Amino acid sequence: MPIQDMKTLVALCQRRGFIFQSADIYGGMKGLYDFGPLGVELKNNIKAAWWRAMVYARDDMEGLDGAIIGHPLMFKYSGHTETFNDPLTECLDCQARMRTDKMADPSVCETCGSKNLLPPRAFNMMFKMQYGPTEGSGSEAYLRPETAQHIFTNFKNVLDTTSRKLPFGIAQMGKAYRNEIIARNFIFRVREFEQMEIEYFVMPGQDEAAHEAWLETRLAWWESIGVSRSRIKIKDVAKGDLAHYSKRTYDLEYAFPHGYDEIEGIANRTDFDLGNHTKHQAELNLTAKVTPNNHSNARLAVQIDEDPEAAAKGINGPKRWVVPFVIEPSAGVERAMLAVLCEAYTEEALEGGDSRTVLKFKPHLAPIKAAVMPLARNKPELVAKAQELKNSLQKLGLGRIMLDTSGNVGKAYRKHDEVGTPLCITVDFDSLTDQQVTVRDRDTMTQIRLPIAELNAYVRGVVEGN
């Protein structure tokens, strides 16, 4: 049974070094979190799993890492400056600020019950900043509210440097910023977060089939990181609730302790973004390539043969410009972390009335893959052997292997259960003569005696899921 209570999870994340309130020694900043020694590992492992599955395992994807600071015109023409708004109201009695679209009753203050509320106004969620040393117009820029726009503005660059043909996609992971009216539910809704986004470019007309295919691909990925399909609801977003660029969106909603809520949006963005950036490039005449009669309004576009059959036979016929349609699976790293933590959290009753807390992460996501411990910390020969095994395991490149010299194996097992370490490897006095170690499994708690010569292959097998 996944966790039902967010407070317990928040406490564990703080106690064990997964997640800290940012700047907590100064009272903290709401909606900002820092990731501790185990949090950074979990986060990196989730991102690596996404990149492996979405880029390396496919033959139709390229990667990108765009700038975080965005050009004001980019966000003007993407529609964000005008429409990336949430409806904000304020209570005149207690000054609480609220998002009216998230309130059960928009006429009553959620904090004090007053009906003395200001009429809702559109609040733009982008963080505006001054770029460079000169203040004033011409120096403003924005922290990107989504990573997507750099994929669109680099569409031609990627196309030209990789010779891709439709369909193909561009993947990007990175920070995004939103000045959320209310940050809440731990790392679920924050003001600085990371996205894992794909823009998948297809011929117009093939967009709806591609949209359905991506829905299946993404559900399978969530399952592969331990987020059970049975706990994800697919929401076909109502027309009136769609983002300004979307023709249709599926939201994947996970059963968090606070209720079903979005972990990923899979949108059919049509040709909205490529089309708009192209149109405005032409309007602004920003580049020499753009003139009224050289298909300038097709700059972020592909050239296709009018007669594909003739082209396949090598006949060079006329070509035309097409602005591709885009399917966009966009997931949040923090929300993925939270869902993975919720799914992994387990409390188990043990014999004798005792109990234990275990994070049953999939091994490839576990922050520590294996802990190697000498049975006693004051026996140099045991410590040296444990260090040697740790170094050897570390070289496998599976992720973090920990040398744990606390010396109390029972306590160490409990600690490693609570942070989700799949394997604990104990070096005892017999190990020095029989060249074997004790390997304890996190989930079953069974212990086996394993020859040291087989240890690396065994650990690799567990971490890689074999």
Q: Residue numbers of the site for ligand GAP (CB under 6 A)?
A: 146, 148, 178, 180, 189-190, 193, 195, 197, 262-265, 328, 330-332, 334-335
Point out the residue whose Cβ comes nearest to ligand GAP: 332
Q: Of 355, 32, 317, 59, which Cα lies nearest the Cα of 175?
A: 32
185 or 392: CB nearest ligand GAP: 185
- Minimum CB separation of residue 408 from ligand GAP in Å reads 39
CA–CA separation, 237 vs 233, rounded Å?
Answer: 12
- Minimum CB separation of residue 84 from ligand GAP in Å reads 9
For the chain, how far is it from start to end, CA to CA, in angstroms? 25
264 or 428: CB nearest ligand GAP: 264
CA–CA separation, 450 vs 433, rounded Å?
Answer: 13
- Minimum CB separation of residue 94 from ligand GAP in Å reads 24
CB atoms within 10 A of CB 46: 23
Q: Of 15, 115, 31, which Cα lies nearest the Cα of 23?
A: 31
327 or 425: CB nearest ligand GAP: 327
- By the 8 A CB rule, do 307 and 319 touch? no
CA–CA separation, 257 vs 186, rounded Å?
Answer: 11
Q: From residue 175, how far is each of 9, 184, 237, 332, 338 by CA, in Å?
A: 24, 18, 25, 10, 17
CA–CA separation, 391 vs 401, rounded Å?
Answer: 8
- Minimum CB separation of residue 307 from ligand GAP in Å reads 36
- Minimum CB separation of residue 65 from ligand GAP in Å reads 16
Q: Of 38, 14, 45, 43, which Cα lies nearest the Cα of 419?
A: 38
3 or 339: CB nearest ligand GAP: 339
Question: The tokens of 177 are what?
Answer: 């910023």
- Minimum CB separation of residue 282 from ligand GAP in Å reads 24
261 or 418: CB nearest ligand GAP: 261
- Backbone phi and psi for residue 289, each to the nearest 5 degrees, phi listed first: -65, -20
126 or 298: CB nearest ligand GAP: 126
- Minimum CB separation of residue 176 from ligand GAP in Å reads 7
90 or 334: CB nearest ligand GAP: 334
- By the 8 A CB rule, do 258 and 6 touch? yes
CA–CA separation, 327 vs 309, rounded Å?
Answer: 27
197 or 271: CB nearest ligand GAP: 197
327 or 401: CB nearest ligand GAP: 327
- By the 8 A CB rule, do 175 and 192 touch? yes
CA–CA separation, 141 vs 28, rounded Å?
Answer: 26
- Minimum CB separation of residue 156 from ligand GAP in Å reads 20
- Minimum CB separation of residue 145 from ligand GAP in Å reads 7
